[in-house]
Structure 1
Amino acid sequence: MIFGQLDGAHPYGFLDKAIQRCFDYCRETDLKALALGSYPIEDQDIFVNIVSYETGTSQDRSWEAHRKYLDIHVMLDGTETIEMAFISKMDQGTFDPDADNLPLTGTAQCGISLMPGDFLICYPEDGHKPGVCVSDPQVIKKAIFKVRI
């Protein structure tokens, strides 16, 4: 997991070129103006999903992890908490390779609250539960970059 701010992304030059490409895309594109949907950046190796949903309680949200892609969550509007835990400390369900989804159950080790301009990189070992409200439920909009590992 790496948590940061887009306007401070330049100190992350040690990260993989594909992740840097996502940061470049953020600087080059008005993400807030994009309609909901999926946008290819480099075929199926890098793409971004623009999503919107209402945040809710932790009990109403689900844990997930991925094996084929890492996630870069970029908050555009609103705030949400993404609960985090190492998958090695959780009960793992059956991996769905078509959806690149590993369902998990367990207890959060921490929560990261994202505000507009913040990003969170989730690697395969990072179980994450997005969509948890910071205080009251609200509709958010964010970009989720998917980078093939």
Structure 2
Amino acid sequence: MIIGNIKNRARYASLGEDIMQALEYFASVLEKPEDAPKEFADIPLPGGKVLIRVRPLNTVPMEKGVMEAHYKELDIHFVASGEEKMALSDVSALRLTKEDPDNDVYFLEGEMNTIVTLTPGTFVIAYPEDAHMGCIAVNEPMPIVKMIAKMTAEKI
């Protein structure tokens, strides 16, 4: 996992073009929030390797969160508006409860060992070994606009 701020995105250039393309997209959202999508959407970026999922959501208490991992995809989580907590842990420390390999989604349970607060500008890169639980309320539940960049981990 990598936790960073979009203003420092140039430091992550060594992670590859796909990751940088996603980070540049998120930077454009911060630079012109009035032009950013706010409704449910899937936006393929030029080149077809990166998909941005826009999800207007409401955060929930931690006990209602869902832990998941993706074994073939890498996610970059970004909050365009609002704030959320995200819990993360190595999948090897968790128990698999349900799997949907056709959609590369694996649900897990157990102790999450890292909790980070995402505000506009903060991002989390979750690799296949990083289980994650997003959309957790910081204080009280609130509406957020969450963006997730999805890309095949094999291309990274």
Q: State the TM-score, normalizing by the size of structure 1.
A: 0.92
* Native 8 Å contact 2:52 2:149 kept in 1: yes
> Quick check: 2:57–2:146 contact (8 Å CA) kept in 1?
no
1:110 maps to 114
% same residue: 29
Give secondary structure in 1 for the equivalent of 2:140: coil
Aligned to 1:9: 9
Deviations 1:1-54 (A, max 9, x none): 1011111111112212210121222345556621321011133x3100000111
- Count the aligned residue pairs: 148
Cα distance in 2 for partners of 1:58, 1:142 equals 17
- Counterpart residue identity of residue 110, structure 2: G
- 1:139 and 2:146 correspond: no
For residues 1-149 of structure 1, what are the structure 2 equivalents within 5 Å? Answer: 1-28=1-28, 30=32, 33-34=36-37, 35-41=39-45, 42-43=47-48, 45-149=49-153
Measure the CA separation in 2 of the matches of 1:88 and 1:134.
Answer: 27
Unaligned runs of 5+ in 1: none
- CA shift digits 1:67-111 (9 cap, x unpaired): 121100111111100011110000013431222101101011010
Amino acid at match of 2:36: A
The alpha carbon displacement at 1:126 in A equals 0.4
What CA distance in whole angstroms lies between the structure 2 residues aligned with 1:26 and 1:109?
26
CA distance in 2, matches of 1:98, 1:65: 13
Point out the structure with the larger helix share.
2
Long gaps (5+) in structure 2:
none
Residue identity in the other structure for 1:58: M
Three-state SS of the structure 1 residue aligned to 2:102 is coil
Evaluate the alpha carbon distance shift between residue 101 and residue 6 of structure 1 in structure 2; reply closer, same or farther with a 3 A threshold: same
Distance of 2:84 and 2:27 partners within structure 1: 22
Which stretch shows the higher mean deviation, 13-22 or 121-130?
13-22
Distance in 2 between residues matched to 1:28 and 1:121, nearest whole Å = 18
Q: Structure 2-normalised TM-score?
A: 0.88
